[in-house]
Every structure is written in structure tokens, then in C-alpha cells.
């Protein structure tokens, strides 16, 4: 399964987290009334009447559901997508549960740790320790491989972003939300575009397609002001909904480079990832250990 672009090139460089800009919705308490679309602003929002809170879990359209992990690891075929979630990371760390060496073995889910405000049931739960190269991530590819090691692409142009719920054992720093597309994923099917497009001018990030995907960073620092909406947004110990808008995604400043459309190519989107980068504020780079739960992932219409 394809890893983040620094991983493919085995680069250990201070690449900032690829994070999708996202707005946080406060979770409701005390037996929320669950709603697919009601009562939410751009970040999810909550509201209600008569003492009962209303939680917007995201779109009710079944075509928009990416994963809810009720009884599998997000294998939710819809609108031409295949689904299924996995983990990736650099060569230095370990996952708990461990990652199988057999790519056909699905990553296990936590069947008791789901988001109680929405689908309940299971969640994608991963603990990562010791990843000091670039970090580690949970990810999904929208379309099955068209042949071994060649990923298909999905037309997501009718959507404006992705929403997901998440919590962690402790607040997580250096998170990035990533949207790899046909220009930035080295395993994307090259037959969908003119082959001459597949050139990256940034040699620091490796070839082929070594330039950054379009990303949104969470809790980014003032030295990288490209994601102002998300500078105070953080995955912490409470279940929250995060809305990541495609319009807010930009290439990472450390690995920006050639992209003929100069924007995220929504017509040829490969997948979605939530990556936790290593700590590049110290040298040598230090592990940024984390324990993360993800649930109720949907496209935003």
C-alpha cells in the first residue's frame, strides 16, 4: 500500500504535516439526538431544543459515506469506490495492533470504541510508537488497484471536502490531512492523464511524483500560515467532528512543485489520509507517539 511521498523516497527531511484544513464541531452530551445533516454550520456545529442536543454526523446520503467501522475496517463500496483502511509509516516505528506483512489482510478495528454520538459500534483505532523518520498515518484509497501496484482514481468533483470524527488518548501535535491525487501519488494510474504531466521539479522529495499532495495542517505554527482556519484545531481526548475543505488544501511548503492544474485534481483523487508527523522541531527528529480513534468518515456535499 502506498505511503506518503516522503516515505516512498525514504526521505527523512523536515516535511510538515499534510493536513486538511478542518473545522471542529463540539460533540453533544447526554443522549444526543443524532442527525445526518441538521443544525450544523461549516464545522459541524451543534444545537437543539428542549434540553436535547442535536449532533450533525454528516451527510445522510449513502453515496457520501466513506467509512463508519461498525463491523469492518471501512470496506464500504459506494459510488464506484471500494473502501478499506490501512496504516503506513516510516521504517523506525511499530503499530499496535501490528500491521500484517500480507497486504490482503485487513487492519483490525476496535469494535467497542466507536463514536457514541453517531454510528457507535467500532472505530479505526491505532497506536503508533517510535516513528521518527517522517511519522505514521491511517489512510484509505478510494478505488481498488487497476493492476498490481497501480491505483485507480475517483472523481470527487461533486464534493467540497471530507468530514470525519476523531479522538486521541492525548492531544496530538503535527497532524496533517492529505489528499493524494494523480499528480502526487506515485502509484496513481498514469493512463488517466497526459504522461508528460508526471514531472516533479522538487528533487528534495523524491521521484516520481515527489511533490506534496494538497494538504491541510492542524495546529500549524506561525511559520507556516497557509492554513489559518486550522491553527487552533487539534485532535484531543474528546470525540469531535472535523470538516476538511478541499478549497483550503495547499501543497506543503517544503515539497511544493510542479502540478499543471495548480490545484487539487478532484477528478482524479486517489484517497485520503490522516498523518501524524514526527517531531521535526528537534534534531535528531524525535518520534511523535500517538493513539488515535477515527470514525464516521463522509464526503461533504
CA dist 235 and 27 (Å) reads 13
CATH code at position 233: 2.60.120.430
Determine the pLDDT at residue 11.
31
The C-alpha cell that represents 85 in the structure block: 483502511
Task: Please indicate, yes or no, if residue 278 is contained in any of the structural domains.
Answer: yes
Nearest one of 28, 30, 23 to 239, comparing CA atoms: 28
Determine the pLDDT at residue 69.
94
Task: Please indicate, yes or no, if residue 29 is contained in any of the structural domains.
Answer: no
Nearest one of 129, 117, 128, 131 to 164, comparing CA atoms: 117
Structural domain range at position 264: 5-20+61-300
Mean pLDDT by runs of 10 across the 301 residues of the chain is 34 34 31 36 33 68 94 86 93 96 89 93 96 96 88 95 98 95 81 60 53 86 77 94 95 70 86 96 95 97 92
Determine the pLDDT at residue 257.
66
Task: Please indicate, yes or no, if residue 158 is contained in any of the structural domains.
Answer: yes
Nearest one of 112, 116, 37, 105 to 75, comparing CA atoms: 105
Task: Please indicate, yes or no, if residue 265 is contained in any of the structural domains.
Answer: yes
Task: Please indicate, yes or no, if residue 135 is contained in any of the structural domains.
Answer: yes
Determine the pLDDT at residue 146.
86
CA dist 61 and 63 (Å) reads 5
Determine the pLDDT at residue 218.
93
Q: How far is CA 282 from CA 13, 277, 288, in A?
A: 12, 13, 11
The count of domains in the chain is: 1
CA dist 116 and 68 (Å) reads 12
Task: Please indicate, yes or no, if residue 174 is contained in any of the structural domains.
Answer: yes
Determine the pLDDT at residue 261.
65
pTM for this entry: 0.80
Task: Please indicate, yes or no, if residue 36 is contained in any of the structural domains.
Answer: no
Task: Please indicate, yes or no, if residue 162 is contained in any of the structural domains.
Answer: yes
Determine the pLDDT at residue 235.
97
Determine the pLDDT at residue 26.
31
Amino acid at each position: 500500500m502506498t505511503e506518503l511521498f516522503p516515505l516512498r523516497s525514504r526521505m527523512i527531511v523536515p516535511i510538515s504535516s499534510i493536513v486538511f484544513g478542518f473545522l471542529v464541531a463540539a460533540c453533544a452530551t447526554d443522549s444526543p439526538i443524532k442527525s445526518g445533516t441538521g443544525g450544523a454550520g461549516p464545522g459541524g456545529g451543534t444545537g437543539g431544543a428542549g434540553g436535547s442536543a442535536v449532533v450533525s454526523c454528516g451527510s445522510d446520503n449513502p453515496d457520501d459515506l466513506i467509512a463508519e467501522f461498525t463491523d469492518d475496517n471501512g470496506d464500504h463500496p459506494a459510488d464506484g469506490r471500494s473502501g478499506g483502511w490501512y496504516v503506513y509509516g516510516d521504517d523506525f516505528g511499530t503499530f499496535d495492533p501490528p500491521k500484517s506483512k500480507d497486504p490482503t489482510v485487513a487492519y483490525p478495528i476496535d469494535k467497542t470504541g466507536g463514536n457514541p454520538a453517531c454510528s457507535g459500534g467500532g472505530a479505526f483505532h491505532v497506536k503508533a510508537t517510535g516513528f521518527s523518520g517522517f511519522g505514521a498515518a491511517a489512510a484509505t484509497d478510494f478505488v481498488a488497484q487497476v493492476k498490481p501496484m497501480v491505483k485507480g482514481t475517483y472523481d470527487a468533483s461533486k464534493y467540497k471536502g471530507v468530514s470525519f470524527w476523531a479522538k486521541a488518548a492525548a492531544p496530538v501535535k503535527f497532524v496533517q490531512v492529505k489528499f493524494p491525487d494523480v499528480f502526487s501519488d506515485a502509484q496513481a494510474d498514469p493512463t488517466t492523464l497526459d504522461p508528460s504531466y508526471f514531472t516533479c521539479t522538487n528533487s528534495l522529495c523524491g521521484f516520481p511524483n515527489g511533490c506534496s499532495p494538497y494538504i491541510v495542517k492542524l495546529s500549524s505554527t506561525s511559520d507556516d500560515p497557509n492554513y489559518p482556519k486550522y491553527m487552533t484545531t487539534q485532535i484531543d481526548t474528546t470525540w469531535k467532528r472535523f470538516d476538511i475543505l478541499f478549497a483550503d488544501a495547499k501543497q506543503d511548503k517544503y515539497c511544493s512543485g510542479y502540478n499543471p492544474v495548480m490545484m487539487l485534481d478532484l477528478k482524479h483523487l486517489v484517497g485520503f489520509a490522516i498523518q501524524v508527523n514526527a517531531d521535526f522541531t528537534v534534531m535528531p527528529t524525535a518520534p511523535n507517539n500517538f493513539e488515535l480513534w477515527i470514525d464516521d468518515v463522509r464526503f461533504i456535499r
